[in-house]
Chain A
Amino acid sequence: MSMYIDPHIHLVSRTTDDYEAMQKAGIVATIEPAFWLGQPRTEVGSFKDYFSTLVGWERFRASQFGIVHYCTMGLNSKEANNIALAEQVMELLPLYVGKEGVVAIGEIGYDDQTEAEDRFYREQLELAKEVDLPVLIHTPHRDKKKGTYRSMDVAEEHGMDPGWIIVDHNNEETVKEVLDRGYWAGFTIYPHTKMGSERMVEIVKQYGPERIIVNSAADWGISDPLAVPKTADLMRKMGIPEEHVQMVTYRNALTAFSLSGQMDENDWLQAPPIDQTKKLSGNSVLRGGQVPRVEGPADRVEN
Chain B
Amino acid sequence: MLWLLQKSEKIQSTGSQTAFFLAFSQASRFFDKGMLVLDETEKKEAHQLVEGYEPEFWNVLQTARTYLLLSFPQEKEAWFAAVNQLFETADMHEHQALFAALPLMPFQEDLIDRAIDGCRTNVALIFDAIALNNPYPAKYFPEANWNQMVLKAVFMQRPLYRIQSQDARSNPALAEIARDFAHERWAAGRNVMPELWRLVSPFLNEKYLQDLQKVMSSKDELELAGGALALFNGPSGTGKTVLGKFPTLVSQIESGTITWETVGKEYQKTRV
Binding site for B on A (CB under 8 A): 48, 51-52, 55-57, 59-60, 92, 94-96, 98-101, 261, 275, 277-284, 288-289, 294
**Any chain A CB within 8 A of the CB of B29?**
yes
Q: Which residues of A contact B123 (CB under 8 A)?
A: 56-57, 60
Instruction: Using known A-B contacts A99-B25, A99-B91, A284-B122, determine if residue A275 contacts B188 with beta carbons closer than 8 Å.
Output: no
User: What are 11 of the A-B contact pairs (CB < 8 Å)?
Assistant: A57-B122, A60-B92, A60-B122, A92-B89, A95-B85, A98-B22, A99-B25, A99-B94, A277-B272, A278-B124, A278-B272
Q: Which residue of A lies closest to B188 (CB)?
A: A289
Contact A100 B271 (CB under 8 A): no
Residue in A48, A101, A282, A294 whose beta carbon sits within 8 Å of that of B89 in the complex: A48
In angstroms, how far is the closest chain B Cβ from the Cβ of A197?
Answer: 35
- The contact string, 1 if C-beta is below 8 Å from chain A, for chain B 257-272, is 0000000000000011
Shortest distance from the beta carbon of A111 to any chain B beta carbon, whole Å: 26
A197 to B95, CA, bound (A): 41
Chain B residues with CB below 8 A from A280, complex form: 122, 124, 155-156
Q: Which of B11-46 contact A (CB under 8 A)?
A: 18, 21-22, 25-26, 28-29
Rounded to whole angstroms, the CA-CA distance of A59 and B89 in the bound complex is: 14
Instruction: List residues of B (152-198) whose CB comes within 8 Å of A's CBs.
Output: 152, 155-157, 188, 190
Contact of A94 among B21, B94, B152 (CB under 8 A): B21
B29, B89, B91, B157 — most chain A CB neighbours (10 Å): B91
What distance in Å separates the Cβ of B216 from its nearest Cβ neighbour in chain A?
Answer: 26
Assess the A52–B89 pair: CB atoms within 8 A: yes
Q: Give B63-106 as 1s and 0s: 1 = Cβ < 8 Å from A's Cβ atoms.
A: 00000000000000000000001001111111100000000000
Q: Do B18 and A94 touch (CB < 8 A)? A: yes
Q: How far is the CB of A215 from chain B (nearest CB, A)?
A: 23
Contact of A98 among B25, B157, B188 (CB under 8 A): B25
Q: For residue A51, which residues in chain B have a CB less than 8 angstroms away from its CB?
A: 89
List residues of B whose CB falls within 8 A of some A CB.
18, 21-22, 25-26, 28-29, 85, 88-95, 122-125, 152, 155-157, 188, 190, 271-272
Q: CA–CA, A92 to B156, complex, Å?
A: 34
Additional pairs, 15, CB under 8 Å, beyond known A56-B123, A60-B125, A94-B21: A48-B88, A52-B90, A55-B91, A55-B92, A56-B91, A56-B95, A57-B122, A57-B123, A59-B91, A94-B18, A100-B91, A275-B272, A277-B157, A278-B272, A281-B157
A95 to B85, CA, bound (A): 9
A165 to B141, CA, bound (A): 50
Q: Is the CB of A289 within 8 A of B190?
A: yes
Given contacts A289-B188, A289-B190, contact A100 B155 (CB under 8 A): no
**Cα-based distance from A222 to B232 in the complex (angstroms):** 62
In the assembled complex, which residues on chain A have CB atoms less than 8 Å from the CB atom of B18?
A: 94
- B125 shortest CB reach to chain A, Å: 8
Q: Which residues of B contact A52 (CB under 8 A)?
A: 88-91
Given the complex of chains A and B, what is the CA–CA distance between A294 and B269 in angstroms? 13
A169 to B162, CA, bound (A): 50
Q: Are A100 and B93 in contact (CB under 8 A)?
A: yes
Docked CA distance A96–B157 (Å): 32
Contacts A57-B123, A281-B156 given: A294-B272 contact, CB under 8 Å? Answer: yes
Asked if A279 and B89 sit within 8 Å, CB to CB, the answer is no
One of B29, B92, B155, B190 near A56 (C-beta < 8 A): B92
CA distance in complex: A56, B26 (Å): 16
CA distance A275 to B122 in the complex (A): 15
A199 to B93, CA, bound (A): 42
Measured CA separation A55–B18 after assembly (Å): 19
CB distance from A119 to the nearest CB of B (A): 22
Q: Tell me the nearest residue of chain A to B151, going by C-beta.
A: A282
